[in-house]
Chains A and B, each alone.
Chain A
């Protein structure tokens, strides 16, 4: 008789047996049970295997075809990423990329977001990758024998490593490692290959494409190596400071939110930026309203202001309207109107010293934000548009800029719309319903054309808007309508009991919305919201309709029309598709992880 395997005894004295281990199923049986269980299933299996085989072979035949001109995307990779950003200023692009990677590394550490991968899982993945690579060599049509051999040999390495590891590791091995380390190792391997493997150097000199032998250009492999080091360093810095820095997540969240603004206005802007106008006009106006207006509001919110205060506020309102009758900078008029509004409502904020300080502080914040927005869209030589109307950072950069700005602004607007549509106040409900239904009835292309071409004509004198901000404004209005409907779905899924419990505790409507219904509604709406974010990312390619050079437009129209690559359209398009896919897939993956983390408390 053998020893019983360590029985656990419960408090009640019942012996709890360990769950029996899953029995080993030999591959033959597994295949029979899962693929050929019935004649019909056998037919399906055979049919679909054949289909997959034919499609894969066709795809590989395309990729490895002799007449493929992969030098088109290879030479123009930088063009696809950033359009014609000047070479001598390219450090700005790398700085932006590095900034994002550094933030990503810090955030991975701060949120402890990197998943863990089990050793066995890893070994299985390595083996599968090896099999896939080897299969490429075996299946691909039109490939030289030495080429096939190369693929099979390269694939054999991870395959063998994976299979050996699986043999060594116990069936129930529970050890695991951070997926971040795995990914870094894989990327490090790729970057190492850039330094050692002669992929060839693609350059474009004097209107002709040239391919030199040797490893890729120094200007590609060196920055990429530095980028890898940046994200590794950031990750370990984040891990070190995490225990000592309580607000790390909040600070990082804030930096993420501000990054698009900081990067586009300070880093990715026109290198020959004319700061004279900024210093002589924009900043003084903003400062005057922030400080002068703040002082006025401080006086008006005093308890003693009374009737005099109301008269003063009325005078400011009259002056603000009068400014529209005389020639004046638009920003002054906007600021004056804002000041009038704040002055009229200042009696509501009268009270303790702290309350008045908060009021004045809020005013200054609002002025800074509004003036920044107007200046950024209105000044020709910020990143958003050169005097000539062209834009430095096209390609993927433009796609990402449009996407991120749209998402940042559309989210709060959409949530507000959803709340308005579910509100008890008829005026809000009607307005938001009308807005949503109108926008949803208009094609995106129409919105883009309207905002890029019509909006500048409709603006009052003295107010300009560059093409990219105009597009972003239109895209924000468009996306927020759809976003509002997604959030509304979430809001309606919150049961009546939650509202009643919050009300019975004496929470105000605002508190109830912010702390009870909205968090639950947003959690429910994560899948549709991420779906929409992915859509926003991909559909931004429609900006080609108003002549902006985004990733897709460069791949489809610009490269095939460049001398040296005439007609080479399919290769850049395939690269562009891959980039879109990679972006969308990582968003989708990230959202699944967020869902799992948030779902922890619920059954």
Chain B
């Protein structure tokens, strides 16, 4: 295993982008998140690992309030998430999200999928939004698919469109919720390549994934979760070579 491991960067002076303090969440009586406290700095790439059912997705979905937490604070780019609708809309237009199932709008073409939110939320003129969308499609490598419908594309292409759609809002933070889990193996690479490029460009990213290679190569920090709580936090180097907790060791021994 001699994959490139990302060099450690000192981000202690960078701005806090996502701050979670003692976040708790319950589904009925079941506690899905318990006392989650973590901070994501500007330009930092944080990968969240953990067995299924450990609360990774629930946590990341709390960050743009697709799920509501019941106690604790989540502060995104200086704005606290509460029930105030204006705060939520402000946060959501600054936080891009990519889903496991892509969730493209099947009745719109690729171009319309990407330009919809910039036109209606950012009030961008149509021509400008389309120009921007074509640039993004260029970046994710499928400009020739602009007029197709999602149903006519492969999963990997759809996920790249979904990334372009999120980027079109010019977000300051990108959340990825298992972006490659629904893809065939030969398509995973094309999506990961786009994500790597994004990380290199200085985007703040929070990624839930099972791709260990990606975590090792791109992450600044890895957070390991189990049973709704954070078990261990560390650099990839530390995490993959010298984990402290027994639960982390067990997890790594199962997947590596």
Contacts and interface: CB of A to CB of B under 8 A. Distances in A.
Contacts of B107: 519-520, 523, 598, 601-602
B152 interface: yes
B116 A601 contact: no
Contacts of A502: 105
Given A515-B116, A515-B120, A602-B151, A506 B92 contact: yes
B117 interface: yes
B104 A501 contact: yes
Nearest to B121: A506
Contacts of A515: 116, 120
Nearest to B112: A515
Interface string B55-98: 00000000010100000000000000000000001001101110
A497 to B, nearest CB: 4
A603 B104 CA distance: 14
Contact of A602 (B66, B89, B109, B149): B149
A498 to B, nearest CB: 6
Given A500-B99, A505-B116, A506-B117, A520 B106 contact: yes
Nearest to B91: A506
A601 B152 contact: yes
A511 interface: yes
B92 A500 contact: no
B169 interface: yes
Contacts of B54: none
Contacts of A357: none
Nearest to A504: B97
B216 interface: no
Interface size class of A (residues with CB under 8 A): 20 to 34
Contacts of B89: 506, 508
A594 to B, nearest CB: 14
Interface size class of B (residues with CB under 8 A): 20 to 34
A505 B109 contact: no
B101 A497 contact: yes
B116 to A, nearest CB: 7
Interface string A465-508: 00000000000000000000000000000000110111111111
A506 B94 CA distance: 8
B31 interface: no
Nearest to A602: B151
A500 B103 contact: yes
Contacts of B97: 501, 504
Given A497-B99, A506-B93, A603 B151 contact: yes
Contacts of A598: 107
Interface string A504-529: 11111001000110011001000000
Given A601-B107, A601-B151, A507 B99 contact: no
Nearest to A501: B103
Task: Output the residue of A502, A506, A603 with the most chain B CB within 10 A.
Answer: A506
A600 B149 CA distance: 9
Nearest to B98: A504
Interface in A563-596: none
Contacts of B103: 497-498, 500-501
A511 B116 CA distance: 10
A500 B95 CA distance: 13
B149 A505 contact: no
A603 B152 contact: yes
A495 B95 CA distance: 22
Contacts of A519: 107
Given A501-B99, A506-B121, A601 B149 contact: yes
Interface of B: 64, 66, 89, 92-93, 95-97, 99, 101, 103-107, 109, 116-117, 120-121, 149-152, 162, 165-166, 169
Given A504-B64, A505-B165, A520-B107, 6 more contacts: A500-B103, A501-B97, A502-B105, A504-B97, A506-B93, A507-B116
15 contacts: A497-B99, A497-B101, A498-B105, A501-B97, A505-B93, A505-B117, A506-B93, A506-B121, A507-B117, A515-B116, A515-B120, A600-B149, A601-B109, A602-B107, A603-B151
Q: Which 5 A-B pairs have the closest CB atoms?
A: A601-B149, A506-B93, A501-B103, A505-B117, A497-B103
